[in-house]
Each structure stands twice: as C-alpha cells, then as structure tokens.
Chains A and B, each alone.
Chain A
Amino acid sequence: LGCCDTKNRKTPYRLENPEIIASETVFSVSEVEALYELYKKISSAVVDDGLINKEEFQLALFKTNKKESIFAERVFNLFDTKNNGVLDFGEFARALSIFHPDAPLNEKIDFSFRLYDLKQQGYIGREEVKHMMLATLAESGMNLSDEVIENIIDKTFEEADTKHDGRIDKDEWESLVLQHPSLLKNMTLQYLRDITTTFPSFVFYSQVEDT
C-alpha cells in the first residue's frame, strides 16, 4: 500500500479514506461516498484514469469541451491544490465542501476572493474586474458599451474600494459581500445537501458501516 511503490502505479485510483475527508469537511461519510459517485462519472468522461482533468471539468460544467472559460479555468486551478493539473477525489471533495450550504461563510468569502483575484496578487484590480466583466458579457451575448462598463466599474470601486487605492483587498471584499450577500449566491450549491439521494448507489460501494 506504500504510496511510492512503483509496482502499484497502474493500480486504479483508490478512494481516499472517506472518514478522513468527512472529518476535514462538512460532509458526512455517506455524503463523501455519494460525492464519489459524481466524481467517478466526471473523471471517466474523457480518460478513465480516476482523475479529473481540465477537459473533463469543462465538459461537466458546460456539457461541451469546446467552450473555454476563464472562470472554469480559475475554479479548476483553485480546486487543484496540489497544482498538478488534475483533481483527485480528495481535492474535489474538499473544494466542494466550501460550496455546501452549511460551510462557514468565511470560507466562501475567501474562496470567492481568490476566484476573482485572477492574477493572484492578493487584491482584485480594476483591470481584472473589467476582464471578468467582458468575459461574462461575451458569454451571455450581452452587449454593453465601453462607457457603460467603465461606469459600472467606477461605481463598484466607489463602493468597494474604501481605502481608495484602486484595489479591492480581502477586507474590502469581505465588507462588500456582507453588504451584498447575493454576490456569494454561486458559492452555495443546494445540490450538496441532497447528494446521498441524488447518488443513492453509493450504498453498494460503501466501505463503512452505518452508525
């Protein structure tokens, strides 16, 4: 079972102990196992290697691998905490835990901040906001003039950038989202509450006894 035994390299990817994942997330052991059913589906869509690559992630999000999205890319990279270009089940489950309705608000705030801090500079800059706005508009086919876009960004920074340095730092982001909770709407997935009923087949593979 050694991690570095080269003979075991071709062994199919094994589920990380669900009890450990459950202890580190808001999920119960059964929920972790049900989530694994979703993970198996996504991770076998292109290459059945037990890992989710970027293409499979985009395919699951958009139902097409032709679509490119800076957001999907950023979300994938944030999920990929080991930074090796693929998501193992532990990374997938731990990241999705942040999206659970019962996850702590500060985790959602932190994740959303890192999401929008595209350049990973520790703050959200004006250029990043414009870049993300243009991407969203292009995605939805909505057309706004540059003047209107600049105006919206001006207003947003007027409100958010309370230190007036042209940047939205973590504290400013926190204040902004507490004023506008709807900005965190996409950080909560109601689906995660019903994960065991969505994927009931997990009971056939369960490695733990019911308590």
Chain B
Amino acid sequence: MSFSIAIHGGAGTILRSEIQPEEEARIRAGLAHALEQGRAVLRAGGAALDAVQAAVMALEDDPCFNAGRGAVFNDAGFVELEAAAMDGATRAAGTVTGLRRVRNPVCAAREVMRRTPHVTLGFEAAERFAEACGLPLEDAAYFHTDKRWAALQQELARIAAGGDASQASEQVKHG
C-alpha cells in the first residue's frame, strides 16, 4: 500500500517582490528537507504519526519558519510556542501552548498524548512537564532571530500609532 505526505511552512501575503532569491532558495530547501524527514519514516514502514512529527521537528529547527527556532514574538517581547499532534486511527491527540523554552514543541505535544489523560497542557506547567519528559530546553537567545524581532518592533510601533492590532499585514503577523 502506498504512502502520502504533505507539509506547510505558513501562509499569508508572500509577495514575490519581497522575497529575495536566496531567501526563497533557503525556504524551498527547508521545505524539501523537512518533507524528506517525514517521507523516510513512511518509506521504512513507520507510522503516519511518527512521520508528521519528524517533518514538523525539522521545520521547528529551521529559522526560516514561524515555529520553534524561527518563531515570532508576542507583544511582551518573548516567544510563546504551541503545537499539536493527532492520530487519525485512534483519535488520540496531544497539544501544548504557551511554551517558552522547549526546542521542539511538537515533541511535547506527543508526550502529552502519550503520558497524560489530557489533550492540552499549557504555560509553566507544560514547560515543567516537557522538562520532566527529558525534552531539550533552550534559553531565549536560541529563539531570537533579527528578522522576527524587527517585525515585532514594526508592529508595536504601528499599534502605538493607533493602528488596529487585528489589521497587521499578513507578512508581519505570521512571519
């Protein structure tokens, strides 16, 4: 029986005029790499759940994308990461929100599914749970990218000047 996999790295106003050729090449390479991480699991007969986790981990590690290492900043100037995983065969699901130090939030979501009777854990308790599961934690500098920090400053200035927070440009909102 055959296998299929798809990934995304975000959607929004991605103006051709705004993306430099070398940046687009990095993004395409990052997508291709992440896809292959998941496809390798499927090719080896692995489970769909393991395949999607492997692909998302690769995207979280890539600063090109708004997750994990390349995450955008909230209005207080720090990252708050969230992730989810769901197994269609059993409808088991695990999700996390409000994480600030977990390197791969999708792994924390998987541990919630695997080790707790709950679906969602959030904020400090979720961070302590992830640490207790032995998942790698990083300090704030790991998640800092100049591009996202500049986007935050731009957005905060726009809001301070009376702009409507819900009307930010897609590119600024979603990185």
Whether both chains belong to one complex is answered with no
Residues of A near any B CB (own CB < 8 A)? none
